């Protein structure tokens, strides 16, 4: 399966108990909750047991039967096929779809989305700006995903139109 067909749903965290169960760090709550299987090191594994909370899940998978086996996988990424993700709501996007989008303010080029940052109040787009001064590294622009800051998102065209005036930036 191609990597662009997979969504990250977290990482194997510290073991929980003696049976190979483990905490999931950085969980993608809705996607992980809907999953029946996760992919660990290119191997799809059925979720045998799920406990904890959506924000702090604990999983048990086949073939990981001891605390030591879970510890050996600590830090390993967990994935699910994109098709297994629940449907998106209106004005909702996957982080993978936003990364690499061109960011503009009307006709002016602003930069490219490097990543999506989760913050308590809302998510932020980290936009890498072109280096205007060859002697200085380009500064990232943080754009909150709120309607005042983001006019439109066109995932198919890979373009996000933002309001630099709202962000206190000059266009």
Same domain, 11 and 80: yes
Residues 72, 20, single domain; the answer is yes
Distance (Å, whole) CA 86 – CA 31: 6
80 with 139, same domain: the answer is: no
Answer whether residue 170 is part of any domain. no
Residue 138 lies in a domain: yes
**Domain span holding position 135:** 95-162
Judge if 13 and 37 occupy the same domain: yes
The number of folded domains in the chain is: 2
In this structure, are strands 102-105 and 77-81 parallel, antiparallel, or unpaired?
A: unpaired
Residues 80 and 18 in one domain: yes
Q: How far apart are CA 101 and CA 4, in angstroms?
A: 15
Per-residue pLDDT of the chain (171 residues; tens, 9 = 90+): 555 689 999 999 999 999 999 999 999 988 999 999 999 999 999 999 999 999 999 999 999 999 999 999 999 999 999 888 888 888 778 888 899 999 999 999 999 999 988 888 888 999 998 865 566 566 789 999 999 999 999 999 999 999 999 998 865
CATH of the domain at 135: 2.30.30.240
| Residue 109 and residue 37 share a domain | no
Give every CB contact of residue 118 below 8 A, 6+ residues apart in sequence.
none
* Same domain flag for 80 and 15: yes
Whether residue 36 lies inside any domain: the answer is yes
Q: Is the dihedral of CA 51, 54, 55, 59 positive or negative?
A: positive
**Per 3-state DSSP, what percentage of the chain is helix, strand, and coil (rounded to 5)?**
15, 40, 45
Q: Are residues 24 and 71 in the same domain?
A: yes
If 0-12 CB within 10 Å is exposed, 13-18 middle and 19+ buried, where does residue 137 land? exposed
Q: Is residue 15 domain-shared with residue 77, that is, in the same domain? A: yes
């Amino acid at each position: 399966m191609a990597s662009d067909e997979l969504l990250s749903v977290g990482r194997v965290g510290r073991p929980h108990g003696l049976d190979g169960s483990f905490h999931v760090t950085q969980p993608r709550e809705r996607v992980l909750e809907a999953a029946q299987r996760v992919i660990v090191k290119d191997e799809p594994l059925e979720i045998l047991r799920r406990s904890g909370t959506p924000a702090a899940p604990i999983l048990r998978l086949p073939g990981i039967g001891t605390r030591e086996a879970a510890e050996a996988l600590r830090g390993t990424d967990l994935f699910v096929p994109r098709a297994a993700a629940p449907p998106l709501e209106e004005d909702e996007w996957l982080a993978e779809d936003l990364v690499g989008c061109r960011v503009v303010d009307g006709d002016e080029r602003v930069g490219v989305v490097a990543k999506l940052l989760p913050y308590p109040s809302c998510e932020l787009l980290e936009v890498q700006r072109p280096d205007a001064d060859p002697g200085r590294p380009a500064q990232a622009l943080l754009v909150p995903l709120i309607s005042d800051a983001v006019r439109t998102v066109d995932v198919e065209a890979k373009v996000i139109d933002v309001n630099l005036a709202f962000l206190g930036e000059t266009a």
